Amino acid sequence: MQQFLQYLANHPWLVAAAVVMAGLVIVHEFRARTAAFGSISPTEAVRLVNSGAVLVDIRPREAFDAGHIAGAKHVPGAAIADGAKPLERFKDKPVIAYCDSGMTAGAAARHLGRLGFTKAYNLRGGLAAWRQDNLPVVKD
């Protein structure tokens, strides 16, 4: 114990850096565990959809009509930004938002979490990852 106290006294900058790093790790883990949204792979999305999750395509109508995941609801990003009224009844169900690449849908999933959706997810890689995994896409 005496050596430990001596080390603390002789290396205050190292001790301070270790304390700061430990604090950052704790904060990061806390935020990751309490986030109201997550990013999931296409395989995980299929599992959730089979369990009753709702797929939400946030792309423009033209892109949705050109090809989308079967059973997906078209809710443009602007409608989600305005309060996601078309999705109100799904607040307690898993909701998976997707776009072409996963970037815009990530912001939509975060916003859904702030709106009270308890299980909002982003399809990691978007429709491109879905197609890359050879999963089906339908056209209207």
Smallest Cα–Cα separation from 108: which of 125, 83, 129?
83
Rama region for 75: left / alpha / beta (φ>0; ψ in -120 to 50; rest): beta
- pLDDT reported for residue 36: 46
Q: How far apart are CA 132 and CA 33, in angstroms?
A: 29
- pLDDT reported for residue 99: 93
More confident residue, 8 or 43: 43
Categorize the per-residue pLDDT at 37 as very low, low, confident or very high, splitting at 50, 70 and 90: low
* Residues identified as active-site: 99
- Condensed to tens digits (0 to 9), the pLDDT of residues 4-32 reads 889 889 999 998 999 999 999 988 877 66
Check whether 56 has a pLDDT greater than 80: yes
Categorize the per-residue pLDDT at 130 as very low, low, confident or very high, splitting at 50, 70 and 90: very high
Q: How far apart are CA 83 and CA 118, in angstroms?
A: 15
Count the Cβ atoms, other than its own, within 10 Å of residue 33: 7
CB 113 within 8 A of CB 106: no
- Condensed to tens digits (0 to 9), the pLDDT of residues 84-127 reads 888 888 888 999 999 998 888 888 888 888 888 888 999 999 99
Residue 54: what residue type?
Answer: V
Instruction: List, in sequence order, every residue forming a beta bridge with 74; answer none if it has no partner.
Output: 57
Report the CATH fold assignment for 37-132.
Oxidized Rhodanese; domain 1 (3.40.250)
CB 124 within 8 A of CB 40: yes
